[in-house]
Amino acid sequence: MKKSVTLGLPLAAVATGALYVSHYLFNIAFKRVNYVPETSKEKQKYADQYYAYVNWFKNIPQETWYLHENNSEKRLVATFIQHPDHLKKTVVISHGYKGNRETMANYAKMFYDMGFNILMPDDRAHGESSGKYINFGWLDRLDYLSWINKLIDIKGEDEKILLFGVSMGGATMEMLSGENLPTQVKAIIADCGYSSIKEEMTYLLREQYHLPEYPIEPLVSTINRRRLGYYLGDVSSIEQLKKNRRPILFIHGGKDTYVPVKMAYENYRATKAPKQLWIVKNATHAESFWYNPAAYQARVNAFLKTYF
């Protein structure tokens, strides 16, 4: 009996420690934060350019749109910018992890200069939108479907729609691609999106925390199931892209160590729709635009001339 107790204590301690670490990591990764974290060191050199775009965004005439406006627990907020040329085309822009619509000002300006109207939502648990937990695009994809339908209701059946996202936003658009999209959605651009939440988390556990997949990932996944209603393994950009029927451009930095570039190839192989893949050789995570804005816009333009 004493031997059993002696052996049981270390096992209990290990289990308790794993559970504590899992709750800690879940809160770090999934819990809402009401500020935008500082950017990585390699992108701080772009700060002056970034704030010039933010200044443009803050001063351009715009409207605030809502979903579930009168429900404080479900309310979602977006900015709509009408282009003065009224060319009947809108880009829906999805922001990155712990960002908000303002952090996508540079992309908004690029598309605005290309003649697009702009619709820029804040995802659940980001910016001005409600929500306690970040869902890494899986539930957000359905919100974007609602935003698209609202856009069509307001702007008309003849509106042509482009979907665009970066990082978590890129994965969100990849996940959205597998849904039954309105015919007004003509094309998708996904910049540095991950192939699945589980694969991305497992990668970051190993690279950033030096922790094994087991037992941490299954425990975090179980916590997520209780909080948000799904296991991490249930969510896959790859599986959604297999159902995609829209032309899609994948963009990824060749030196991305946050979402590894192999995920771009996995996503590219998954879709059978018309597709292009552009690896920006020397760019890190979400740096492809900043590395060479003119080249970025040219590549986007070339894709749109073919498919939009």
What are the boundaries of each domain within the chain?
1-30+198-231, 39-196+235-307
Confidence of residue 2 (pLDDT cuts 50, 70, 90): very low
| Six-digit token string for 147 | 């935003």
Yes or no: say if 120 and 57 are a contact pair by the CB < 8 Å rule.
no
pLDDT value at residue 216: 94
Percent of the chain with pLDDT over 70: 95
pLDDT value at residue 13: 65
Pick the more confident residue, 43 or 109: 109
pLDDT score of 53 more than 60:
yes
Sign of CA dihedral 227, 229, 233, 237: negative
Nearest 5°: the CA angle 175, 180, 185 is 85
Task: Give the residue carrying structure tokens 């015919």.
Answer: 183
Percent of the chain with pLDDT over 90: 92
Burial bucket for residue 153 (CB in 10 Å: 0-12, 13-18, 19+): exposed
- Structure confidence by residue, pLDDT tens digits, 232-247: 999 999 999 999 999 9
pLDDT value at residue 7: 46
pLDDT score of 296 more than 60:
yes
Task: Determine if the peptide bond prior to 215 is cis (ω within 30°).
Answer: yes
Provide CB contacts within 8 A for 49, sequence distance 6+: 106, 290
CA–CA separation, 101 vs 54, rounded Å?
A: 10
HSE value, Cβ hemisphere, 13 Å, CA-based, for 195 = 17
Q: Which of 4-13, 75-84, 85-94 has the lowest mean pLDDT?
A: 4-13
Provide CB contacts within 8 A for 262, sequence distance 6+: none
User: What number is the average pLDDT over the span 92-105?
Assistant: 98
Yes or no: say if 186 and 162 are a contact pair by the CB < 8 Å rule.
yes
Task: Tell me yes or no: is domain 39-196+235-307 CATH 3.40.50.1820.
Answer: yes
pLDDT value at residue 141: 98
Yes or no: say if 80 and 101 are a contact pair by the CB < 8 Å rule.
no
DSSP secondary structure, 140-154, as one string = HHHHHHHHHHHHHHH
Q: Which of 8-17, 65-74, 96-105, 114-123 has the lowest mean pLDDT?
A: 8-17
Confidence of residue 16 (pLDDT cuts 50, 70, 90): confident
- The three-state secondary structure class of 43 is helix
Yes or no: say if 172 and 145 are a contact pair by the CB < 8 Å rule.
no
pLDDT score of 5 more than 60:
no
pLDDT value at residue 40: 85
pLDDT value at residue 6: 43
pLDDT value at residue 10: 66
- The mean pLDDT value of the chain amounts to 95
pLDDT score of 262 more than 50:
yes
Pick the more confident residue, 10 or 122: 122
Please state the φ and ψ torsions of residue 160, each to the nearest 5 degrees.
-95, 135
CA–CA separation, 235 vs 137, rounded Å?
A: 9
Confidence of residue 12 (pLDDT cuts 50, 70, 90): low
- Structure confidence by residue, pLDDT tens digits, 182-224: 999 999 999 999 999 999 999 999 999 999 999 999 999 999 9
* Nearest C-alpha neighbor of 288 from the set 106, 98, 113: 106
CA–CA separation, 68 vs 256, rounded Å?
A: 37
